[in-house]
Amino acid sequence: MEKESEKLIEAKLREAVKKRGGIAIKLLSQFHRGLPDRILLLPGGKTVFVETKSTGKKPGALQRKAHQTLRALGFDVYIIDSTKAVEDLMQLLDLERAGL
């Protein structure tokens, strides 16, 4: 797999969310370190957190802990490291929205 930058992946994510009528808000975590990079606000009231990484990179310990906390609260947290992963996530969210 070709290595893709986090910046490229985030741009593709923003575009894909906007295309679906949603908003991909950049989270600045100065008060709560380790938060995912983006919160996606999607039609129908769906809220999803997304951590973007350059291809092959993994979240650090602080990020994994924050993800665990969000999941324990009932939120979906996804880690994506490629434009293919963006497409896969959008397909999954489209299926959920369609009730499939």
pLDDT value, residue 17 = 98
What dihedral do alpha carbons 8, 10, 11, 16 form, nearest 10°? 130
User: Which tokens is 96 given?
Assistant: 């959920």
Q: Are 42 and 48 in contact (CB under 8 A)?
A: yes
pLDDT value, residue 6 = 95
CA neighbours closer than 13 Å in the CB half-sphere of residue 13: 30
- Please give the chain's pLDDT, 100 residues, in tens: 689 999 999 999 999 999 999 999 999 877 888 999 999 999 999 999 999 999 999 999 999 999 999 999 999 999 999 999 999 999 999 998 888 6
